[in-house]
Amino acid sequence: MISHNQKEALIQAAAAARQQAYAPYSNYPVGAAILTEDGRIITGCNVENASYGLSMCAERTAVFKMVSEGGQQRIQAVVVCTANGGSPCGACRQVLTEFAGDVPVWLTDAAGNIYETTLYALLPHHFGPEHLTK
């Protein structure tokens, strides 16, 4: 169960992470924050590159940080913060699905609006690790 305080902290963390974005080419900074099942908040921002295709999204940055920092790896909620309420790209939806069930995804914008959806609403009929077990 996610408390009101946890949700607020997650939203604040995503907004703060957005300030760290390196997005000189798109000028579309994105911040993400994930809440692990053991209560940690891990953030990410998009990191672009002069070779555009090498750019990394905020959500995947956060997931890769979660794994590389060690510890518990299940995600219980996600917040994405953009200027205009943008939604995670398909690649990020798939990567999130590796570590999360049908968890809440809150899309927030710079004005403070919050739109709630879920990971399976964003990625129906996902392909997950369960499909690779015998």
Annotated active-site positions, please?
59
Size of interface with ligand THU, in residues (CB under 6 A): 14
- SS3 annotation, 15-75: HHHHCCCECCCCCCCCEEEEEECCCCEEEEECECCCCHHHCECHHHHHHHHHHHCCCCCCE
Residue 89 binding ligand THU, by CB under 6 A = yes
- Residues between 18 and 37 that touch ligand THU (CB under 6 A): 23, 26, 28, 30
Q: Is residue 51 packed enough to be buried (19+ CB in 10 Å), middle (13-18) or exposed (0-12)?
A: exposed
Q: Considering the rule CB under 6 A, would residue 78 count as an interface residue with ligand THU?
A: no
Closer residue to ligand THU in complex, CB, 16/23: 23
Contacts to ligand THU from residues 33-72, by CB under 6 A: 46, 48, 55, 57-59
Q: Which residues sit at the interface with ligand THU, rule CB under 6 A?
A: 23, 26, 28, 30, 46, 48, 55, 57-59, 86, 88-89, 92
